[in-house]
Structure 1
């Protein structure tokens, strides 16, 4: 029997890459999945594929995570469709490299709005009901850039350090409430966004590698909280 049958998972940034893979793997485990992102055509195609497999159901909600109203609307539609939100995967993110000395303020704002505020908006939307039910799982997709900084990743790394800090603080806040928190830190993953940045001396991670880490965390027994997973290529 699928491990997540009857559960509902929301995945932000689900239109491609890691988010799409997470949605597919959770649906394979029987979860109903709410696909949230800005590119609705891609979400519709993914939903058709998931629904065609007749395991978990998929619901598409066009969402900009940098807008709190969009997040609130999306979570409301998820509850209307499936009753509860059991798993919330904060996966949406923006990678815009640039040295701080270049002063590209618009890029800074975009990364902060999506990578930090978007995560907080998502948590804020689902946490009250999870606490009321003493059950739920929040998964935040971080990055190895939240552990290490390069000369061009200062602002991006700062946003991912923030995601780690939010995850660590939230896990402590929610101790013994029944609500679990997992922080996933992928290394370089082969996606359309990273196609020109991949090293040529080793095999990069695949999106499925990260999705399997998420499935591992959310399918543990209810008394087990997997707080942090870092996934790197060999």
Structure 2
């Protein structure tokens, strides 16, 4: 059996929000497979250690770039620095996001705009700028990270759910428009994943190291499990998958 169709070796991948959690798991996985990775978040001091750790091991190279995805000019600089370092961009993972819990009646206009700006507008900025480069240079892969909250809603997360629902619909729409340019656009909608953000906001105490990947009956995952799916969607193995949203949330809970 061959596994080469799942490889991202030799590709260059930009992963937003990759200083920790799911984003960090993705850059580490891709680099281990031989990809060059761009580690980016709003704080350079948070991404530099990640890039340095990746560079210390065999595999693809790593570049740390500070980028606020809500700032169009910052995203354009991100593209320029990536192309200067690696020559092109083959994969974009739109992972940068933010959330907080609040009842619908208590969400301020500023709070609403902040969450929509980071999760939805940030995805649009990166897709237009970096996806535009892909369209002009032979195509590429874009994977947007949404949430199950964008599929079915979530208590005290109406602002976040609305933004992620927008990401899911945006994925389908852009995929249809850009398929002719050989740009594959797909989406991942994770449920609970054992990241620091989930632990701090939702009171989940389970550490990712304690989660047994060999067990089917669970409703919390590890960041590496999302990275597995991101690699599939970034590789030739997903060549017939366009405009889809993959839910990754463990065991169904039926009423």
Q: Give TM class, smaller chain.
A: over 0.9
Specify the SS of the correspondent of 2:65. strand
Asked if 1:232 corresponds to 2:244, the answer is no
Q: For residue 216 of structure 1, what is the aligned residue in structure 2?
A: 232
Partners of 1:228 and 1:56 in 2: CA distance: 28
- CA offset at residue 150 of structure 1? 2.5
1:41 aligns with 2:45: yes
- Aligned pairs (5 A) from 1:1-234: 3-196=7-200, 197=202, 198=204, 202=218, 204-221=220-237, 223-225=239-241, 227-234=244-251
Please say if residues 22 and 227 of structure 2, whose CA atoms lie closer than 8 Å, have aligned partners that are also in contact: yes
CA offsets 1:110-152 (integer angstroms, 9 cap, x no match) = 1011001100000111122211223201110000011011331
Q: Which blocks of at least 5 consecutive residues in structure 1 are unaligned?
A: none
Q: In the aligned structure 1, how far is the partner of 2:105 from the partner of 2:77?
A: 38
Q: Tell me the alpha carbon deviations over residues 43-66 of structure 1, each in whole angstroms, 9 at most, x when there is no partner.
A: 111111111112010000011111
Kept after mapping to 2: 8 A contact 1:15/1:40: no
Q: Is the 8 A contact 1:139 1:181 kept in 2?
A: yes
C-alpha distance 55-66 of structure 1, shift in aligned 2 (>3 A): same
Task: Give yes or no for contact 1:189–1:206 (8 Å, CA) kept in 2.
Answer: yes
For residue 38 of structure 1, report the CA deviation from its aligned partner: 1.6
Summarize deviations over 1:161-217 as a string: whole Å, max 9, x none. Answer: 000011010111122321101101100111111114238895521100100110111
What is the TM-score normalised by the length of structure 2? Answer: 0.86
Contact between 2:42 and 2:66, CA under 8 Å: does it hold in 1?
yes
Can you list the C-alpha shifts for 1:6-57, whole angstroms capped at 9, x where unaligned?
A: 2100000011100000100111111100111023222111111111112010
Deviation at 1:79, TM superposition (A): 0.5
Question: How many pairs does the alignment contain?
Answer: 234
CA distance in structure 2 between the aligned counterparts of 1:178 and 1:132, rounded to whole angstroms:
10
